[in-house]
């Protein structure tokens, strides 16, 4: 049985995208046309773009967005807590209200933006499972 050669990145079919994945991600819009919203709930991705019909059913950023939000927002709120309590001397109940709002609003906003950016980057770079030949690509 003859071995098929591996396909390099240059041999795979790359689809040029006119929309910047970072702009589409920041605006939470379709990575193909940037004309329709990517989410139909707070964090639920459309199965297909309502404007251009682009298939979004394979969009899967995994847990990547949550990790970024935990690390970035955790650092920001800890720093804010030190500044508000240590430098400005705010009472604990004020810290709880301010930081509670920052954590709730910031985590939802950052989850949307980072999830949309990861999905847009996935489609921009045509990321998918590896395949050794054309028969594997079909399945
Ligand atoms: Zn679209």
- Answer whether residue 10 is part of any domain: no
- Answer whether residue 72 is part of any domain: yes
- Answer whether residue 109 is part of any domain: yes
CA neighbor of 116 nearest in space, from 3, 6, 38: 38
Ligand 1 center to residue 87 CA distance, Å?
48
Number of domains making up the chain: 1
- Answer whether residue 105 is part of any domain: yes
CA distances from 96 to 75, 81, 89, 93 (A): 16, 9, 13, 5
- Answer whether residue 135 is part of any domain: no
Q: How much is the pLDDT for 79? A: 96
Ligand 1 center to residue 38 CA distance, Å?
8
Ligand 1 center to residue 91 CA distance, Å?
48
The string of pLDDT tens digits covering residues 83-136 is 999 999 999 999 999 999 999 999 999 999 999 999 999 888 888 777 777 665
Q: How much is the pLDDT for 128? A: 75
Distance CA 123, CA 27 (A): 16
Concatenate the DSSP letters of all residues of 11-52 into one string. TS-PPP-SS-HHHHHHHTB-TTTSSSBSBSSSSPBPSB-TTT
- In the structure, ligand 1 is a single-atom ion and the residues with CB under 5 Å from it are 30, 32-33, 49, 51-52, 54
pTM of the model: 0.76
């Amino acid at each position: 049985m003859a071995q098929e050669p591996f396909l390099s990145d240059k041999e795979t079919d790359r689809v040029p995208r006119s929309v910047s994945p970072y702009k589409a991600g920041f605006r939470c819009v379709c990575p193909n046309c940037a004309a329709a919203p990517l989410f139909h709930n707070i964090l639920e991705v459309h199965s297909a773009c309502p404007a251009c019909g682009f298939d979004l059913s394979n969009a899967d950023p995994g847990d990547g967005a949550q990790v970024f939000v935990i690390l970035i927002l955790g650092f920001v709120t800890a720093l804010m807590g030190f500044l508000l309590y240590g430098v400005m001397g705010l009472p604990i109940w004020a810290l709880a209200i301010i930081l509670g709002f920052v954590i709730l609003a910031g985590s939802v906003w950052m989850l949307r933006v980072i999830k949309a950016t990861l999905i847009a980057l996935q489609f921009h770079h045509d990321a998918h499972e590896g395949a050794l030949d054309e028969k594997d690509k079909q399945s």
